[in-house]
Chains A and B, each alone.
Chain A
Amino acid sequence: MLEVRHLSVKYGNKVIVDDVSFSVEAGQWLMIIGPNGAGKTTIVSAVSQGAPYQGEILFEGKNIRRYKSRELAKKIGVLTQNHYVGYGFTVEEVIRLGRYAYTKSFLSGRDDDGEGKVKRAILRTGMEPYLHQSVLTLSGGELQRTFLAQLFAQDPKLLMLDEPTNHLDLVYQKQVFALVKSWIAETHGAVVSVVHDLSLAKRYGTHGILMNHGKIAAAGTVAEVTAPEQLNWVYSMDVYGWMREMYGQWS
């Protein structure tokens, strides 16, 4: 579905992402893991055309630079990390923006199966009670779910999630990951997500890439990527020991 070939991103002289290649097929959930500053978010930006890059990114065999903006939005949906909204739009208005790609190009004409998609997205994320509330009054978690609802309304084939749960407490973390998992099962789509929490990555990912200083340190199934020797080397600490110590407290 998505194929990234020799992706490199530079800001000035600084190489942020260095010759990264990977691919994602339908039904897969690829976890991008690695320490801070490894270039994880930049990969998401490049795929969503938000950062200048070298290399090729193909979606269903076609270079994504050759997609029109609207067509690309029907294929790839992106959830970014920061959601600071400047004005008091209602939750419903923000969610409905997800249907933009399906409206006619001028004076936004009708979008026939949009109503159903919007309704389902709202139900899926549990945002119904908030629809007429201003987004400025929402908590971090509610705002995150608003944008997740927008993403579901957009109905893409591939979701790119950048730290989808970094503002969320445990309950919503679990909810969001379960939601995305059921979305994959239902639509047979694919997901790429940047995740800090290695336990979540192990629990929900099917595949993964481990990033270190802009390069891929390991790629494969999640089990392969999270093997102790690689993690310990990339994070320069005994990751497994630490995890056991942390989670052992709960047994």
Chain B
Amino acid sequence: MANKYKSGFRIREYLVFAVITVFTMLLCICIGSVNIPLCETADVLLRLLRGAAQEEGSMAASIILPVRLPRVLCVAFVGASLSVGGAAMQGLLKNPLADGSTLGVSSGASLGAILAIAFGITLPGVPFAGTMVMAVLFAFLSLLLILALAYRLDSSLSTNTIILIGVIFSMFVSSLSNLVITFAGEKVKTITFWTMGSLQGSSYANAAVMGVTLAVCGLILLGCATELNAFAVGEENARTIGINVRRMKLTVLICISILIGVSVSIGGSIAFVGLVTPHILRRITGPNHRRLLPASVFGGAVFLMLSDLAARTILRPRELPLGVVTSLIGSVVFVTIFFQMRKGKL
């Protein structure tokens, strides 16, 4: 037995993940409708970091700074948020298929955001806060509703029950959303945006809000890593080893709702990100959340940046909705996980 037992993420692992993330980010900034050579990209970014003026009339700077950089940052933060939220949810519910999209939480958040826009609910002074607050609120209410229903039907909260309820709830809420959009007309972004998601045209403000949300909620979740481990082993076991089960559930659910709600209000509902990355990463880090959660932050960012790159470039100059790409990958992974669970390999 190892004398000093360490279950956390090691510095070296953080470095490896960070390097991969930064590399992906550079790649995504370089490639697009117009490809920009790496050295020019690096030059623009270095000038930005040093606070120096950009070269006069530089085409690279005029593409990267107002368009590509905010978008890539936003994609990275949204990916990280959805992924870390998904990993936490899968631990809490002991269910590897749980995710904002499979449980219908994203659809719930979309409805909140759509209502906010359609009825002009805003917070004075802050431009997109109304949408965001409504999305977070609806994400949380959706989670509570789905879990309450699931507990009623099947107190052991088996995987299938909860997913089934999630799917039905998702369909119900989506139809409500579509109803609102039909009547709201031009005010609300298209149906595609709220069901497929897209991060086209993200601003620095979007990225900043998502980044701060990720930092706060991500750190809180990381602080709950041991408790999440216990829940992943079993809720009853979590209680008997001394975890305040109610309080912990509430904390984690609130963090997840905020992460999903803010992501949805910025990028619409981008499905399956929280399902795919933790599933892949668990094979590298194991199920221990002290390793899985930090890995998910990086992994989610990388996964969504690459998906967004694919969405932008596959049918150039046409752009696919980002959610189409993630859903294509996600549904395949979903089926894979389901098969493995049936065979008892997970």
- Which A residues have a C-beta under 8 Å from some C-beta of B? 48-50, 68-74, 77-78, 80, 83-90, 92-94, 96-98, 100-101, 103, 106-108, 115, 119, 122, 128, 131, 136, 147, 150, 154
Chain B's closest residue to A88 (CB) is B287
Partner of B229, one of A50, A89, A107: A89
**Beyond A50-B239, A115-B3: 14 further Cβ-contacts under 8 Å?**
A69-B245, A70-B244, A72-B242, A77-B240, A87-B96, A89-B287, A93-B7, A93-B229, A97-B230, A97-B233, A100-B243, A108-B225, A136-B346, A150-B241
Q: Is the CB of B232 within 8 A of A87?
A: yes
Interface assignment of B122: CB less than 8 Å from any CB of chain A: no
Which among B1, B236, B242, B287 has the greatest number of chain A C-beta atoms within 10 A? B242
Which residues from A are CB-within-8-Å of B230? Answer: 97, 100
Q: Is the CB of A50 within 8 A of B5?
A: no
Shortest distance from the beta carbon of A134 to any chain B beta carbon, whole Å: 9
Which residues from A are CB-within-8-Å of B3? Answer: 115
- Which B residues have a C-beta under 8 Å from some C-beta of A? 1, 3, 5, 7, 94-96, 223, 225-227, 229-230, 232-234, 236-237, 239-245, 282, 286-288, 344-346
Q: Is the CB of A85 within 8 A of B234?
A: yes
Given A107-B223, A119-B1, do A69 and B229 touch, yes or no (CB 8 Å)?
Answer: no
22 inter-chain pairs at a CB distance below 8 angstroms, sorted by A residue, are A49-B239, A50-B236, A50-B239, A69-B245, A70-B244, A83-B237, A84-B234, A86-B232, A87-B96, A88-B287, A89-B232, A89-B288, A90-B286, A92-B1, A93-B288, A96-B7, A97-B237, A100-B230, A100-B243, A101-B241, A107-B223, A128-B1
CA distance A21 to B3 in the complex (A): 45
Chain B's closest residue to A160 (CB) is B240
CA distance A87 to B233 in the complex (A): 7
Partner of B241, one of A71, A84, A85, A100: A100
Q: Is the CB of B243 within 8 A of A69?
A: yes
Which residues from A are CB-within-8-Å of B287? Answer: 87-89
Which residues from A are CB-within-8-Å of B286? Answer: 88-90
Which among B226, B243, B287, B288 has the greatest number of chain A C-beta atoms within 10 A? B287
CA distance A98 to B96 in the complex (A): 24
Q: Is the CB of B242 within 8 A of A80?
A: no
Shortest distance from the beta carbon of A47 to any chain B beta carbon, whole Å: 10
CA distance A72 to B244 in the complex (A): 10
Q: Is the CB of A154 within 8 A of B94?
A: no
CA distance A103 to B225 in the complex (A): 13
CA distance A103 to B7 in the complex (A): 14
Shortest distance from the beta carbon of B287 to any chain A beta carbon, whole Å: 4
Q: Is the CB of B94 within 8 A of A69?
A: no
Q: Is the CB of B96 within 8 A of A100?
A: no
CA distance A88 to B223 in the complex (A): 21
Which residues from A are CB-within-8-Å of B1? Answer: 92, 119, 122, 128, 131
CA distance A245 to B286 in the complex (A): 52
Q: Is the CB of B233 within 8 A of A94?
A: yes
CA distance A92 to B241 in the complex (A): 15
Given A69-B244, A89-B288, A97-B226, do A48 and B239 touch, yes or no (CB 8 Å)?
Answer: yes
Partner of A73, one of B7, B229, B240, B288: B240
* Top 6 closest pairs, chain A to chain B, by CB: A73-B242, A101-B242, A87-B287, A86-B94, A78-B240, A69-B244
Shortest distance from the beta carbon of A1 to any chain B beta carbon, whole Å: 18
CA distance A77 to B240 in the complex (A): 6
Q: Is the CB of A74 within 8 A of B242?
A: yes
Shortest distance from the beta carbon of A99 to any chain B beta carbon, whole Å: 8
Chain B's closest residue to A85 (CB) is B233
CA distance A77 to B237 in the complex (A): 10
Shortest distance from the beta carbon of A44 to any chain B beta carbon, whole Å: 10
CA distance A128 to B234 in the complex (A): 23
Partner of B242, one of A100, A128, A131: A100
Given A84-B234, A93-B288, do A73 and B226 touch, yes or no (CB 8 Å)?
Answer: no
Chain B's closest residue to A80 (CB) is B236
Which residues from A are CB-within-8-Å of B242? Answer: 69-74, 100-101, 154
Q: Is the CB of A97 within 8 A of B229?
A: yes
Which residues from B are CB-within-8-Å of A73? Answer: 240-242
Chain A's closest residue to B341 (CB) is A86
Shortest distance from the beta carbon of B28 to any chain A beta carbon, whole Å: 32
Q: Is the CB of B234 within 8 A of A83?
A: yes
Which residues from B are CB-within-8-Å of A136? Answer: 344-346
Q: Is the CB of B240 within 8 A of A87?
A: no
CA distance A88 to B292 in the complex (A): 13
Chain A's closest residue to B233 (CB) is A85
CA distance A83 to B94 in the complex (A): 13
